[in-house]
Amino acid sequence: MNLQRVSGVVVVVCLLLGGRLLAFTGTGGGYTVIDNVESNGPTFLWDDIVQTGTPVAFSSSDMGWASVPIPFNFPFFGASYPSVTVATKGYLTFDVPSAVYYTNTSLPNVSAPNNTIACFWDSLTIPADGEARYQVLGMAPNRRLVILWKDATHFNGTSRRFTFQVALYEGSGAIRMQYRHMSNGSGTSTNYAAGMSATIGIEALTGNAGLLYLYNGAPASNQVKNGLAIGFLPDGAAAPWPTGPATSVYSEAFDGGATGFSFSAPSAPIEWAVDSTPAGAPGGPSFSAPNSLNFNDGTDYAATGVTPAGSATSPSIDIGGLEHAMLRFTCNYQTQASTAADDKRWLEISRDGFATQDLQAQIIGSGPTSIGICGLMGQWHEHIVPLNPAWGTIQVRFRFEALNSANNAFAGWFIDDVKVTGVVVAVGPPPSLPVPAPVLGVGVSKPPSIKKKVRTSPYCGGAAPSAGQSVGWIVMGMTALLLAGATRFSRG
């Protein structure tokens, strides 16, 4: 995206590629956006408010909304607000709503809803076993209001489960969106969990300005995945969150073995192993080649008269004092089925050698669980599990338990890239970096504070352009190209 500032107005040149205008455009928006795919993007730091947050009292589980108080005046597109309305459909609005809108649009768009923060605007429902909560975290003048949608389902199938949150920051007006567990369930070729029918972005009061991150799966580079964090910053504001990767206190990719792991497999030779078998496992036997930790006999987990079972236990991991502690691991499986009544896959965490357990969760492919449901068989996916630093030193155990000795001719369970991360740093603005002088024909390096990315939508601004708009865009484009002859701007 080529950017220039002319009299305080952002001019965006939309590139015509393959007959479609690419890149979001808006004038006077006053915001930039960056995600954690970039090295200086916001660190994924999940705020776990399931136990401590206040339930959002929606007027309806489907077409519902509720007002949530903000204990500080939140600045948004030049105005200030003491409350916000939360919609079941995955968006916030600072307007007083008369309806909830389940059909998402590109942004900006003058049609209602306006004055919005679209975290994952789609045709969502909050089921009886899902919920939404909110909580204020931090101390003045550095507080943030966190709003969580947990296990929301999609109109096109209740097996799809989405858990995501948005945080509104005091003072700066910064906005951070995070996606912990987005599962597409089963039986569909459309990846709704990736945002194929969703909108992510922000929009001003009248709908004439805003900033789009994703619309109906475009651009493909911005499609949602577990662990995604997106930050929207008002121009001139310092990021109120840490940037870059979280601190890793433990990591095991299983490519050189499984250091410190212990194994129990009363059904040998069907047991836990570190290798790349079976080679023909659906989705592949590892996430990061060459090896994974897997439960099978090199082919499957079938043996006459044997009910396979076994566990793999990590070494001790110290999480005491680690802020936003998280266990992350990738998972793939091929088993008889993925319901709670079939072959069982367990994640267990203990601080006393499993005399007791601080967490025990069956990993299944449908219905809500404390760690989120699995993806489809044969598709590698990531689980993100919040940890309580009060647990101190823990061990993690993966345990497989077949239902019986029948119907076990399947590849088994595969685990890869296990890590425990968190943050133990003070939040503050990044250090300023010198900006190299322009060199004709070479370009200009972009300092981290600029943080601009290409954002695409079918049209600049979401709606089909009128003839007048098309002419205006052409004029702006020609102006920008003329100005670019003197100075080249970086592309990011």
Q: Is residue 361 part of a domain?
A: yes
Domain boundary among 359, 392, 423: 423
Same domain, 252 and 329: yes
Lowest mean pLDDT among 170-179, 263-272, 375-384: 263-272
Structural domain boundaries enclosing 311: 247-423
Same domain, 256 and 197: no
Give the model's pLDDT for residue 160. 86
Same domain, 182 and 304: no
Same domain, 302 and 417: yes
Rounded mean pLDDT, 395-403: 95
Provide the pLDDT confidence category of residue 285 given band limits of 50, 70 and 90: very high
Q: Is residue 9 part of a domain?
A: no
Q: Which residue did the predictor score with more confidence, 450 or 401?
A: 401
Query: Which residues pair with residue 271 across a beta bridge?
Result: 296
Rounded mean pLDDT, 385-407: 95
Domain total of the chain: 2
Give the model's pLDDT for residue 466. 46
Tens of pLDDT, residue by residue over 190-231, are 899 999 999 999 999 999 999 999 999 999 999 999 999 999
Q: Is residue 259 part of a domain?
A: yes
Same domain, 252 and 343: yes
Give the model's pLDDT for residue 28. 38
Rounded mean pLDDT, 98-117: 95
Same domain, 161 and 309: no
Determine the Cα angle at 445 with ends 442 and 449, to 5°: 160
Same domain, 296 and 224: no
Q: Is residue 440 part of a domain?
A: no
| Residue 243 pLDDT greater than 70, yes or no | yes
Provide the pLDDT confidence category of residue 400 given band limits of 50, 70 and 90: very high
Query: pTM score, two decimals?
Result: 0.79
| Residue 129 pLDDT greater than 60, yes or no | yes
Same domain, 84 and 133: yes
| Residue 135 pLDDT greater than 80, yes or no | yes
Q: Is residue 444 part of a domain?
A: no
Q: Is residue 3 part of a domain?
A: no
Q: Which residue did the predictor score with more confidence, 70 or 484?
A: 70
- What's 401's domain CATH number? 2.60.120.200
Give the model's pLDDT for residue 188. 66
Same domain, 201 and 350: no
Closest CA to 142 of 165, 167, 169: 169
Domain boundary among 394, 423, 452: 423
Same domain, 417 and 304: yes
Query: Which residues pair with residue 419 across a beta bridge?
Result: 251, 328
Determine the Cα angle at 461 with ends 67 and 150, to 5°: 35
